[in-house]
Amino acid sequence: MVEMEALGECKYFPGLTSEILKARKRSGAITKAVRKVVRHVLEAEELKEKSKEALIVEEIFRSKDIKIQNIRDEVEKFIHLAEQRVTLSELYEKLSEVPFGLTAQIISLVLLDILLKYGDKVSIFEKGQFHLEINPLLFDRLMANPQKFEVQKNIFSDERKNYLKALSGVLKKRTNNLLEITKTLVSQIKQLDKYTKSTERLSKPALKLRNAVMNAREPYRLVFNDIPVALGFKSFENCNNEFFNQLKESLNELESRYSDLLAEIEDFFFSSFELKSEEKSRKILLNKIIEIEEFISADEIKIITNSIKTENLPYERWLEKLATVVNGKNIPKNWSDYDLAEFKQKIILIGYEIKRLQIIFYMKTYTKGKMIA
């Protein structure tokens, strides 16, 4: 780090008015001001006219000063050469020493400006994990610990651009931006329920696609290598209409997996009572429960029959509640494959018990009828 007395040697240090940008030690007030500038740039937070933050925006983001341009050029050169991952501490070390002597505030804000300009042409990693967007919290961590961050340039040939265009069509996106496409894929998988994210009961392509996205380490590799391989293609160059159809089918399968689980719960539940899997069977089953209610003694059966008698819930929520009660702890969305297997075992036993009680009911009714006769 350049000491104050060595500043004269820093011929590329820009002629700035902002004391915040020039400060060698970052106080709480400086950090607060920089954060406000970042929120303005990233989230369009309003700044007061002629405020210290507005001055920073003018001197960094809108400046035509040749020395600021020189700094931008150095940052762009650094990114342009980053064909493999490089740590940002290298950039900070270079620009903080003679002949630049820049403060962390200047380096960080110019870097932010360039990263936003480059968009999906640069991937950002923090401790090895990629980030799909820059937000104020990420910027805070980056400025405080640039040694924990890496960048890598993404190279797009015409073939890669065409592939991204076709991929965006499948995802119904109006952009060919790598990061936006990756964000859409990651978001779709993250929004899935816990059951769909853990089950092995998927087709091979859907299972491999889900795992590829969940375990992704970087956007470039995920989109151009991992997803094609997951769907049975060597690389993106081999991807044809069959690939894009398979991708669409696999995403649809993942999206509908929870609905399929509920349908399976419904089918198995009603079949255990020799009923059809349809909503009107709920009323038939309810009448059966009412008939045998006086013969039910086991608390576990009582809890389940009480759930069956819950009439004020919509059909799907009724099924979910019933499955949760049988499971004893988790709602179906949080189930594992083991929970489903356990549910089926319990329902079989409950079905047997209900049938046994029905026999008792019919025998007593028949006996009572004969006695009356």
Of the given ranges (95-104, 216-225, 359-368), which has the lowest mean pLDDT? 359-368
> Beta strand 129-131 with 149-153: parallel, antiparallel or unpaired?
unpaired
Q: What is the number of residues in the chain? A: 373
Going from N- to C-terminal start, the domains of the chain cover 4-153, 158-259, 272-372
pLDDT at 274 over 60: yes
Of the given ranges (86-95, 270-279, 324-333), which has the lowest mean pLDDT? 270-279
Distance between CA atoms of residues 166 and 173, nearest Å: 10
pLDDT at 360 over 50: yes
- Name the amino acid, one letter, at 301: I
Contact 289, 305 (CB under 8 A): yes
- pLDDT bucket at 138, cuts 50 / 70 / 90: very high
Tokens 């389940």, located at residue: 304
In sequence order, the β-bridge partners of residue 149 are 126
Of the given ranges (173-182, 258-267, 304-313), which has the lowest mean pLDDT? 304-313
Angle at CA of residue 193, ends 190 and 196, nearest 5°: 95
pLDDT tens-digit map of 14-47: 788 899 999 988 899 999 999 999 999 999 999 9
Distance between CA atoms of residues 327 and 343, nearest Å: 6
3-state secondary structure of 313: coil
